[in-house]
């Protein structure tokens, strides 16, 4: 008798992770978007080499945080897509045990 198939619990965990990440990543991005925009507009601080250095560094960090957060999100999305929709009851049980142990 074939084993019963059930929803893959790892998919649910990855989907929850993505949802939580979207909130957190948006907050991280927003933390630098406005300051980078303000400094980049040359309305906040201009005319010194320190201002130019700060503008360049802030702009670079802002781009970097977007690149890193996009990459992180993409990694989780790919993991989600790689998971089957359903697994056997035994596989699901093992996944739940692994998840409880942090594996």
CATH number of the domain that 82 lies in? 1.10.287
Poorest-pLDDT segment among 9-13, 41-45, 91-95: 41-45
The pLDDT of residue 55: 85
Secondary structure element (H or E) that encloses residue 6, with its range:
strand 5-7
1 pLDDT higher than 80: no
Give the closest residue to 82 by CA, choosing from 30, 28, 11, 2. Answer: 11
Domain enclosing residue 73, as ranges: 5-100
Q: Is 89 exposed, middle or buried (0-12, 13-18, 19+ CB in 10 A)?
A: exposed
Q: How many domains does the chain have?
A: 1
CB atoms within 10 A of CB 5: 14
74 pLDDT higher than 90: yes
């Amino acid at each position: 008798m074939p084993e019963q198939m059930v929803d893959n619990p790892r998919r649910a965990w990855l989907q929850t992770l993505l949802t939580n990440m979207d909130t957190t990543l948006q907050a991280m991005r927003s933390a630098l978007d406005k300051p980078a925009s303000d400094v980049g507009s040359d309305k906040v601080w201009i005319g010194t080499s320190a201002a130019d250095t700060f503008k360049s560094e802030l702009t670079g960090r802002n781009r970097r945080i977007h690149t890193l957060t996009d990459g992180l999100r993409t990694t989780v999305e790919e993991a989600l897509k790689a998971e089957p929709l359903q697994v056997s009851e035994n596989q699901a049980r093992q996944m739940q045990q692994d998840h409880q142990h942090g594996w």
